[in-house]
């Protein structure tokens, strides 16, 4: 559970200057704040943190007025993103500071990486679509084949082409992700339980019986309903495909008005896969491209939300959590 790890060390800098303290944060690409521990006031911030604040100067302000800290889950919301906070206590000249680094979760591709991947997919789609369509046309031109051996051979070729076209369709989903996003910025509340019921209605009855819905929230969920349905469909599909055995239960829990958990009793995801879950083509499933979690994360990020692996153990199974944007960060 990467996002629950907050590392706290204690560094003693002796007689070094405050300038040395500032140099600790100057070249870090992630946002960094130096906080006076006794007052929680921001003493210094690096260029990444300053630029993210725009015209607002965070120096001298309380850290809780600048960064939304989700303490129970170890998350921080800053610069319209959910980030992983890492803290280090630093003692300098009988005064203690907290160095707060807000890391981008390593399992989630950043925008530049995703842009590069999607450009590669665009080239791949362009190169493959035309020859595959031509092959399909030649097969249609062959016409009726009476020899049973030839029929079997042609049938196998057709099946192979159909499978390749299915792969192309999956790649199209990721390449044109924005086309599947409902652009209604004002529609930011939804009845999460109703949305979940709509998703479950599309499943076969035997699969529906394995899924339990728990609603612990008293208010509406802070997310657009159309996009919430898309994300929950992708996450529920992921849960149903990863469970170990036909009788494993799946639970969808509306924990609050800003968090939904989808869990199952499947075997833990290997660490080498878990560390890059939201990158396309990372998957443990045969005949699958690993597009679903990537697409869900893209849709979530457009609403300043995130999806993280919140449980991954033999004892408790697997759980993905959707965190929406905090209410005070509009």
Among the three residues 81, 103, 125, which one is the final residue of a domain in this structure? 103
- Model pTM score: 0.73
**pLDDT (tens digit per residue) in 88-134:** 888 877 788 888 999 887 777 776 777 777 777 777 777 777 777 77
pLDDT at 303 over 60: yes
**pLDDT (tens digit per residue) in 229-245:** 989 998 998 888 775 55
- Same domain? For 137 and 209 the reply is no
pLDDT of residue 194: 93
Report how far residue 171's alpha carbon sits from residue 290's, in angstroms, rounded to the nearest whole number.
Answer: 10
Structural domain contains residue 329: no
The domain tally of the chain equals 3
pLDDT at 246 over 60: no
CATH number at residue 235: 3.30.565.10
Classify residue 227 by burial, with Cβ atoms within 10 Å: 0-12, 13-18, 19+.
buried
β-pairing, 41-45 vs 317-323, is unpaired
Collapsing DSSP to helix, strand or coil, 287 comes out as: coil
- Same domain? For 232 and 315 the reply is yes
pLDDT at 10 over 70: no
Q: What does the longest C-alpha to C-alpha distance in the chain come to?
A: 92
pLDDT of residue 154: 75
- Same domain? For 40 and 72 the reply is yes
Q: Are 229 and 303 in contact (CB under 8 A)?
A: no
- Same domain? For 36 and 167 the reply is no
pLDDT of residue 186: 57
Structural domain contains residue 193: yes
| pLDDT (mean) for 291-306 | 82
* Residue range of the domain that includes 84: 2-103
**pLDDT (tens digit per residue) in 49-59:** 999 998 899 99
């Amino acid at each position: 559970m990467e996002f629950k790890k907050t590392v706290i060390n204690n560094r003693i800098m002796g007689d070094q200057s405050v300038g040395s303290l500032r140099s600790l944060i100057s070249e870090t690409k992630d946002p960094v704040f130096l906080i006076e521990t006794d007052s929680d006031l921001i003493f210094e911030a690096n260029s990444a943190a300053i630029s993210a604040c725009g015209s607002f100067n965070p120096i001298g302000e309380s850290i809780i007025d600048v960064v939304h800290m989700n303490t129970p889950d170890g998350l921080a919301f800053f610069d319209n993103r959910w980030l992983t906070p890492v803290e280090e206590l630093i003692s300098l000249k009988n005064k203690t500071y907290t160095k707060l680094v807000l890391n981008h979760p390593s399992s989630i591709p950043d925008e530049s990486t995703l842009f590069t991947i999607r450009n590669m997919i665009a080239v791949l789609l362009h190169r493959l679509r035309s020859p595959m369509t031509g092959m399909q046309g030649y097969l249609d031109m062959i016409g009726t084949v009476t020899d049973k051996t030839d029929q079997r051979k042609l049938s196998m070729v057709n099946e192979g082409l159909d499978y390749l076209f299915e792969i192309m369709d999956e790649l199209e989903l990721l390449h044109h992700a924005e086309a599947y996003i409902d652009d209604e910025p004002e529609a930011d509340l939804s009845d999460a339980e109703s949305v979940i019921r709509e998703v479950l209605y599309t499943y076969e009855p035997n699969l529906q019986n394995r899924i339990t819905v728990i609603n612990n929230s008293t208010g509406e969920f802070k997310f657009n309903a159309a996009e919430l349905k898309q994300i929950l469909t992708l996450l529920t599909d992921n849960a149903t495909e990863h469970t170990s055995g036909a009788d494993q239960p799946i639970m969808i829990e509306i924990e609050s008005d800003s968090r939904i958990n989808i869990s199952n009793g499947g075997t833990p995801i290997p660490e080498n896969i878990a560390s890059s879950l939201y990158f396309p083509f990372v998957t443990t499933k045969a005949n699958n491209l690993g597009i679903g979690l990537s697409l869900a994360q893209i849709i979530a990020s457009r609403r300043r939300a995130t999806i993280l692996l919140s449980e991954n153990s033999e004892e408790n199974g697997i759980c993905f959590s959707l965190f929406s944007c905090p209410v005070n960060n509009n």
